[in-house]
Structure 1
């Protein structure tokens, strides 16, 4: 078939973005800027491009992470494999062989691959799992984590149809917000002042909800990178008080990235709950700009379970009536038998 793989010059972002835009399921996480930002967390990154008869058809970022004294180290494909063509066994085998050789040359103990391709979309199984399983199992990989779940909103639908697919409470909360004369600011250029405001609410929410938050420095750098790649920030105010801030990416499949609710909104007279309204703002903003899908950014599964610790978030997202999507699993392979198995057990509690 004339496949070849070669190192990619990351300064040629235009070429990469053309490939990414033409790929099957493009995402902000695969952009050069977002991937290379992880170097701030101690990762080594290398990018490669696959050509078929001199035409760019695929691309991938390899990521190396080493522990202190290099006792445990991994080679990862964390942001998925860009494919402008349907994956064949021949293409995947060539790419996986290259990744294995690269990992061995770096002396790592363990390898991980997260393809970031959908396995199930709205109840329909895609062909991707079978071809990835055949190639990766043949190369000594196994499944180490189930694929993550999300909901996709079909932005090609009319506003009326989108509202019809929502549950009653979601529609009611959106309508209340629409009648409340809330002020909305849409920010499409990076601003330190607005992003610091966002961080304060995000960090405050992390303390209330007891989840780990990014450092302010890394949060600001992340949002600067995202907004320089088209992400949009929304600020909702009630009676001049900021009650919600949220960010959606716009590169490829648009995706909800972060949001922060000011719980003090409950003390403001006649102030409605702004969460569903924030998503509705993003949905309409993206529709106007011609996007076809909005990824609501992860959920525990297809149907909310009341006993689940993240039930409230899960129910919130499910209320929009989007298509349930589950991605392919993460695959792993030990390169160094002893230390690779040690890493696998520490990280995944599996042998």
Structure 2
């Protein structure tokens, strides 16, 4: 307890957007922790957020951009996507205690985090999420060699067939890309975790250290597909991607990914996060990402911190809510689609 009192930090809730994103990129945070992402969510979804940072002797040690969410429309929770960023691991427990104590005083019922950090040793592999990281610090030739043989031949084939890949800020291209994403989500029955408005805002505003990019593929004047990325400092993140099935034979996905890798290298980026694979790691998307030659990484599942009594009940209710939410969304989408068809 004496150490806890001694290590009190100075908390700041009023950094400018540039200051926040500058620290975030400097300390290798995730773009979902950026002001750019928070502002986009507020404008597109009306979600209010806060940005708290803890300093000691002028040096930041803890950063958390958290969103106000509501559990059953009654209880206020603090949701920290891909965070927090903890820079003083030795006093991680102290920082967490101070942070949670501040949340409780502000009327929050619980806090849920989704840390973006590699798990070195796992006792329970089922309790973790998985993704693939590509190490961009190795030579370009080595990255090419690490691609699956079929992937390399597909990239060459796409180029030979005249597939063109380019970055675009065009709203027309963004609309076409979103339409392809939406079409695929409906045909495969999954919820599309974005909106055209969110993408549009992300693409239209940039910070020196947090940027968004849309890579598009064309063939003989036709829009074939695209990939939406965010860069935060020295890391690149693949958020959304989609290919029009009519052009799947042109190896569009492979061509897009290699162009992205080459571009990331030119920007002196060190890591490319493909942002998720399934737990079984055997689906079509999983296999596609694996053939890019990266390393499968595990990171913690959602962590829940009740701020009041009844810890077990709160955790149970929260898990039920998180489990049902995507299912309810999917059912609503299906009912809406059926209604539209009848109309």
TM-score (norm 2): 0.81
Q: Deviations over 1:19-43 (max 9, x none)?
A: 11221x3221121121243335354
Aligned 8 A contact 2:33 2:81 in 1: no
- Alpha-carbon shift at residue 286 of structure 1 (Å): 0.7
Q: 1:295 to 1:164 in 2, by over 3 A?
A: same
Equivalence map 1:78-227=2 (5 Å):
78-83=81-86, 85-88=87-90, 90=91, 92-120=92-120, 125=121, 146-187=127-168, 190-213=169-192, 214-225=194-205
Aligned 8 A contact 1:3 1:53 in 2: no
Residue 21 (structure 1) aligned to one of 21, 25, 28: 25
Q: Deviations over 1:229-270 (max 9, x none)?
A: 42222111112111121122222310111112011115xxxx
Where 1:344 maps in the other structure, the secondary structure is helix
Residue 257 (structure 1) aligned to one of 239, 263, 277: 239
Residue 7 (structure 1) aligned to one of 7, 12, 32: 12
What's the counterpart of residue 211 of structure 2? 230
What's the counterpart of residue 55 of structure 2? 51
Aligned 8 A contact 1:13 1:32 in 2: yes
The alignment status of 1:314 with 2:289, answered yes or no, reads no
Aligned 8 A contact 1:77 1:112 in 2: yes
Where 1:231 maps in the other structure, the secondary structure is strand
Where 2:9 maps in the other structure, the secondary structure is strand
Q: Deviations over 1:3-57 (max 9, x none)?
A: 51323224x223223311221x322112112124333535432211111212233
What's the counterpart of residue 34 of structure 1? 37
Kindly indicate which of the two structures has a greater share of residues assigned to helix: 2
Aligned 8 A contact 2:158 2:251 in 1: yes
What's the counterpart of residue 289 of structure 1? 267
Q: Distance in 2 between matches of 1:57 and 1:331?
A: 20
Aligned 8 A contact 1:255 1:297 in 2: yes
Where 1:233 maps in the other structure, the secondary structure is strand
TM-score (norm 1): 0.79
Aligned 8 A contact 2:130 2:298 in 1: yes
Q: Which runs of 5+ in 2 are unaligned?
A: 1-5, 325-343
Aligned 8 A contact 1:170 1:319 in 2: yes
Q: Distance in 2 between matches of 1:226 and 1:67?
A: 32
Q: Aligned residues, how many?
A: 311
Q: Which runs of 5+ in 1 are unaligned?
A: 131-142, 306-310
Aligned 8 A contact 1:42 1:65 in 2: no
Q: Distance in 1 between matches of 2:244 and 2:151?
A: 19
Where 2:128 maps in the other structure, the secondary structure is coil
Q: 1:227 to 1:20 in 2, by over 3 A?
A: closer
What's the counterpart of residue 330 of structure 1? 302
Q: 1:199 to 1:8 in 2, by over 3 A?
A: same
Q: 1:182 to 1:176 in 2, by over 3 A?
A: same
Q: Distance in 2 between matches of 1:164 and 1:7?
A: 47
Q: 1:255 to 1:17 in 2, by over 3 A?
A: same
Is the deviation greater in 152-161 or in 256-265? 152-161
Q: 1:317 to 1:19 in 2, by over 3 A?
A: same
Aligned 8 A contact 1:110 1:343 in 2: no
Q: Distance in 2 between matches of 1:227 and 1:279?
A: 24
